[in-house]
Amino acid sequence: MDPLEVTTTWARMLSVTAGACAAAGAPGPGTRIRGKPALDFGSGPWLGLIDFEGLRRPERETLLPWLRERIEPLLLVRHLLLAKPLGEEVFIELGPRALEAMPEGFRDAPRPILILAPAGRTRPERRRQYLDALSRLRIPLVSAGSSLWAIREFDPEFVVALARLWKDSERSAFRASIDPSQTRLFDQQLPAAEAAVLDDLVGARDEESEIALDVESVSALNPDAHPLAVYAAVERTRNRRKAPKERTQFSARTIEARLSARGFPEDVPSCTEQFAARAAAIVPLLPAELQRAFEATELLARD
């Protein structure tokens, strides 16, 4: 591979350790919803699938040993059990370390599945391949097709840069290329950047956004619903209001709705007085927020 672009990588490292996100999308097990991690809504770790399809061959060869030897056990601590990376075909297979670390009973019930895809590298039809493959599975791991799956996108260039800096030779060359006055700072920032990226992959550092606020509200109104189901319903209600090119596609159920011909435009029900009264007693909402919360709750009940 070509040498790392020092200025860009160093600036990105400092921005990530200062709070910039290196991954975003649907909630992961570390995402806090109503003050609780999403993991609290289910037992055991989630299953994580990293998609290599959009990566170049040298990037894959760099990421694979870093994931296997360094990152896999650290993600398990963050409640994400990694399967083998996805290739051209979407095929789920647990590696030796995952099989060893898999808690007793993990295969006996459907588990939330979080697909980690390279941002800007994923073809639109790839999401349909996810759905087709997961819907065809008949192993207990997803109980004939788990609907509790979604997508987070990661910054591929920065993640590959971290994987390269894990190697002594790459780290020494990079360190020698930066201003000598910043080498000590680099030594401190590298492990901090790695930890921040791991937290971003599982959603532990997500910044508040409009959709996150809706997820909080809908979750408060539907406390027994899983965060991925809530996110799917919220994303779909927001997509109803957007032009096709502006719609996001991080939730499984949104994709499933489109593939089953329940696409856009949809008939949108009006908020009822009963729901408005119930919501007012639980969470204060503006009229537009109340309408979206009602639509999302209706979708949760339907699905």
Q: Is residue 188 located within the same domain as residue 216?
A: no
104: left (phi over 0), alpha (psi -120 to 50) or beta: beta
Q: Is residue 176 located within the same domain as residue 267?
A: no
Is 262 part of any domain?
yes
Note the Cα 289 to chain centre separation in Å: 24
Is 1 part of any domain?
no
Q: Is residue 229 located within the same domain as residue 186?
A: no
H/E stretch holding 43 reads none
- The residue from 201, 220, 244 where one domain ends is 201
Least confident of 42-46, 119-123, 192-196: 42-46
User: Would you state the pLDDT for residue 133?
Assistant: 76
- Contact predicate 131/262, CB 8 Å: no
Is 92 part of any domain?
yes
Q: Is residue 219 located within the same domain as residue 179?
A: no
Indicate the pLDDT class of residue 263, thresholds 50, 70 and 90.
Answer: low
pLDDT at 51 over 50: yes
pLDDT digits (tens, 9 = 90+) for 175-217: 999 999 999 999 999 999 999 999 999 999 877 778 999 999 9
Q: Is residue 196 located within the same domain as residue 215?
A: no
Q: Is the dihedral of CA 73, 77, 78, 80 positive or negative?
A: positive
User: Would you state the pLDDT for residue 140?
Assistant: 46
Q: Is residue 121 located within the same domain as residue 195?
A: yes
Q: Is residue 193 located within the same domain as residue 224?
A: no
Residues in the chain: 303
Q: Is residue 195 located within the same domain as residue 224?
A: no
Owning domain of residue 187: 6-201
Region 105-132 average pLDDT:
85
Q: Is residue 14 located within the same domain as residue 153?
A: yes
Higher pLDDT, 265 or 280: 280
φ/ψ (deg, to 5) at 265: -75, 155
Q: Is residue 187 located within the same domain as residue 56?
A: yes
- The residue from 169, 201, 233 where one domain ends is 201
Q: Is residue 277 located within the same domain as residue 153?
A: no
**What's the domain count of the chain?**
2
- The residue from 173, 201, 229 where one domain ends is 201
25: left (phi over 0), alpha (psi -120 to 50) or beta: left
Is 60 part of any domain?
yes
Is 22 part of any domain?
yes
E-assigned strand segments in 206-252: none
Q: Is residue 38 located within the same domain as residue 185?
A: yes
